[in-house]
Amino acid sequence: MQLNFSGLRALVTGAGKGIGRDTVKALHASGARVVAVSRTNGDLVSLSKECPGIEPVCVDLGDWEATEKALGGVGPVDLLVNNAAVALMKAFLETTKEDFDRSFNVNLRAVLQVSQIVARGMISRGVPGSIVNVSSMVAHVTFPNLAVYSSTKGAMTMLTKFMAMELGPYKIRVNSVNPTVVLTAMGQKASADPEFSQKLKERHPLRKFAEVEDVVNSILFLLSDRSASTSESGILVDAGATPPRPAAPPSGLQGHQATLLHALDHAPDAIHAHSQTCTPRPTVWSHLHDTTRQRPTSLQPHTCPTPPTPRTRPHSSTPNMWVPGDPVPPAPTHCVVHSPLKVRSSRNIMDLRLAGRRALVTGAGKGIGRSIVKALHAAGARVVAVSRTQADLDSLVRECPGVETVCVDLADWEATEQVLGGVGPVDLLVNNAAVAFLQPFLEVTKEAYDMSFNVNLRAVIQVSQIVARGLIARGAPGVIVNVSSQASQRGLTNHSVYCSTKGALDILTKVMAVELGPHKIRVNAVNPTVVMTPMGQAAWSDPRKAKAMLDRIPLGKFAEVENVVDTILFLLSDRSSMITGSTVPVDGGFLAT
């Protein structure tokens, strides 16, 4: 099939080498006018010689202000390929703040920024468009030494779904490709060790890595009108290495699936003969699973915006920000749930043998975190409670005498290192602190992005490193539980950054489990639905908004705090000694629908 892009203008990031460079060449050969973006001018000069007429832009996409200056006036763009990425291979315990910031700034924040620039232009012109994000199979499966890189790609998976949901009404399609090792110059170098290469190939049913053209063919297909009904999809170009999707299709869709599978099983013949090596059926099943089972959930139709969520006092200049620890406005009189917070008394707690163990809980000032502290204290654990609000810690100590308190803003890496670096031996860690900004994708700000990832993910890495290093130095086993969300796997309107942080947290949990397991440190996550904390009650007090969500929960109810706390305590205990790398839903069956 000849894909003709004549008359269309395409922008490709990471265009200097590898997949990006070959994508530029293919688009140029197909008649497109191409804007090639790279941070290496020498690569752009040589590319211009190979493809006369392309427009080169030299900029470091990790620099928000420089990117805005260089691309803010780029002009009309019809097709966008977000390919730029950095992959820093480091063990989890050796990952630095600089590694985290550089990786997320290029691999995710730049995707958000460049996509906003391009999408706003499409919308103002009233034209359709297509965006393809180059992700990776490591968004779904884990390898050692790729904690941060895998997390960026897990976040990209959710961001892709959000972009598709919010930009779809403007006829802008958004998809991703998820390749295995690709034999670019960098890929060949990374897989040069024959023993390592063989072991990695054994995870691939086709026993081979991808060629660059395999990935480029998939990108071109998704950019073209041949995929006009495809959006929100993550196409695997991985020789079958990613674990298969569930065998049973969602009820009521069997006929449609059979038809689509039959048609798309033969799609590689139409795209390019060589791309038959890309395992069409697993690829199509991934596409079908994503479009029929994992599509983002808009709480109301696109034509009816979700009612604004009540706001707490401003924490920063960024609007619509929820921060655990902020005061909560009084619940309206029509609040869905009026029951008070419940905390199990000591006689109601299963004997989980937590007495004498030292636990650290972040986000301990209110809600789930505060209830975890109370439950651990009642179970006999010695608890270190971390919050950024001293008043909450003071009242918590009055309720739980003997609790150790630490007041720090976890968004501040240096302050966190100073106060927690000498915290002493910790056996159990609950990473609960989080912030949630409610902003449409096109209105997400740099400040909202940075604060969200600094608290929701970077702080998890930092605090977990501090605790894990202590456990390893002592030769002691330990347990870490990360509080994620059902939003790591489903989209909710105006939660694009929050859901991206939780998608990243899920894959980070798995990488931590892989790397820390040999040290007898277990790592899991809990993924709750809406939880009836005071904040949850206020946010879901509108009956119409609540009903739209409750109708998607088989049990027909939101979670109480004790449902989440009980699950966390179980995962912290030796009763779950064979569980690690798991994400445990506490969602009333929402993720099963």
> Where does the pLDDT of residue 560 fall: very low under 50, low under 70, confident under 90, or very high at 90 and above?
confident
Catalytic residues: 498, 502
Q: Is the dihedral of CA 264, 269, 271, 274 positive or negative?
A: positive
Token pair listed for 7: 């008359």
Look at residue 4 in the predicted model and tell me its pLDDT. Answer: 83
> Where does the pLDDT of residue 136 fall: very low under 50, low under 70, confident under 90, or very high at 90 and above?
confident
Q: Which of 10-14, 62-66, 305-309, 452-456 has the lowest mean pLDDT?
A: 305-309
> Where does the pLDDT of residue 297 fall: very low under 50, low under 70, confident under 90, or very high at 90 and above?
very low
507, 501, 486: which is closest to 582 by C-alpha?
A: 507
Q: Is 412 exposed, middle or buried (0-12, 13-18, 19+ CB in 10 A)?
A: middle
Rounded to 5°, angle at Cα 12 from 488 and 191: 70
CA distance 385 to 369: 9
CA distance 312 to 61: 33
Are 456 and 151 a contacting pair, CB within 8 Å?
no
The rounded Cα 3 to chain-centroid distance in angstroms is 32
Look at residue 15 in the predicted model and tell me its pLDDT. Answer: 97
Q: Is the pLDDT of residue 331 over 80?
A: no
Q: Which of 77-91, 122-136, 572-586 has the lowest mean pLDDT?
A: 572-586
Provide φ and ψ at 79, rounded to 5°.
-135, 135
Class (C level, CATH) for 9-292: alpha beta
pLDDT tens column, 152-204 = 998 998 898 888 888 888 989 898 888 876 656 655 555 556 766 566 555 55
Q: Which amino acid is at 245?
A: R
Look at residue 250 in the predicted model and tell me its pLDDT. Answer: 37
> Where does the pLDDT of residue 362 fall: very low under 50, low under 70, confident under 90, or very high at 90 and above?
very high
Look at residue 242 in the predicted model and tell me its pLDDT. Answer: 57
pTM of the entire structure? 0.67
Percent of the chain with pLDDT over 90: 48
According to DSSP, residue 575 is labeled: G
pLDDT tens column, 194-238 = 766 566 555 554 456 667 877 887 788 788 886 666 666 666 654
Residues of the chain with CATH 3.40.50.720: 9-292, 355-587
Look at residue 342 in the predicted model and tell me its pLDDT. Answer: 40
CA distance 389 to 139: 35
CA distance 569 to 354: 9
CA distance 98 to 437: 24
* 297 SS3 class: strand
Which regions of 246-392 does DSSP assign to beta strands (E)?
321-322, 358-362, 382-387
Token pair listed for 287: 């596409």
Of the CATH numbers 3.40.640.10, 3.40.980.10, 3.40.50.720, 3.30.70.100, which one belongs to the domain with range 355-587?
Answer: 3.40.50.720
CA distance 329 to 348: 31
> Where does the pLDDT of residue 573 fall: very low under 50, low under 70, confident under 90, or very high at 90 and above?
confident
3-state helix, strand, coil in the chain (%, to 5): 45, 15, 40
Task: Look at 226 and 348; give whichever has higher pLDDT.
Answer: 226
The rounded Cα 450 to chain-centroid distance in angstroms is 14
Determine the length of the chain.
Answer: 593
Q: Is the pLDDT of residue 536 over 60?
A: yes
Unique residue bearing structure tokens 């499409």: 122
Are 584 and 527 a contacting pair, CB within 8 Å?
yes
Token pair listed for 376: 């651990």
> Where does the pLDDT of residue 473 fall: very low under 50, low under 70, confident under 90, or very high at 90 and above?
very high
Residue 356: left (phi > 0), alpha (psi -120 to 50), or beta? Answer: left
160, 419, 461, 392: which is closest to 294 by C-alpha?
A: 160
Look at residue 184 in the predicted model and tell me its pLDDT. Answer: 61
